[in-house]
Amino acid sequence: MLQHSSRLAFLFGLIFIGCLSPDLKEYDRSNRTLFLFNFTNSTFDADTQVELNRALREELHSKGDFLLTDQQDAAKLGLYGEVTLYRKEGRLYDNLRNPTRYELIAGVRIRMREMDSGVVLLSTEESASVQFSPREGFPESEYQARQRLVRLLSRRIHQSMVAAFRSRYQAPVP
């Protein structure tokens, strides 16, 4: 009996957590149109902003919360940002003091605003880090780790955008 009730509680918890995931599909489509500006890069690492822009575009398209548009005049919202940090650091070293495990760290400053009024809905900084090793454990190249880092960062940006949108606009009454 105790096992059955604990299984039911676990199942209820999973369902409850699933209902908390951010979803903006109940909001009006015209309020969710977004123009994604090209991100800038103030680090010494080339193309980080291009990869982040591409990954963020894929994340937004896959979730369907914001409707991306190619025309700035057709968008209700605009998102732009700047990559402010990109660093590769050694985390684990061999006997000769050569790194065998690395950590990639990225930080970005983002701002989302309404295009017509100029009201800023979101102004924050997001960061992410991943560790990888080309030689130990499950070998992973720096390129693969970088793609993982950019996807993680784009997920965090998306979550911040959804939270800012929900706090600005009231949910429609069913």
Nearest-angstrom CA–CA distance, 149 and 78: 24
pLDDT in tens, 128-137: 999 999 988 8
pLDDT in tens, 99-144: 999 999 999 999 999 999 999 999 999 999 999 999 888 899 999 9
Tell me the domains of the chain and their CATH numbers.
24-168 (3.30.160.150)
pLDDT in tens, 152-174: 999 999 999 999 999 988 777 66
Nearest-angstrom CA–CA distance, 19 and 170: 18
Rounded CA Rg of the chain: 20
- What DSSP string runs through 42-81? -SSSTTHHHHHHHHHHHHHHHH-SSEE-S-GGG-SEEEEE
Pairing of strands 67-68, 40-41: unpaired
pTM of the model: 0.83
Question: Percent of the chain, pLDDT > 90?
Answer: 67
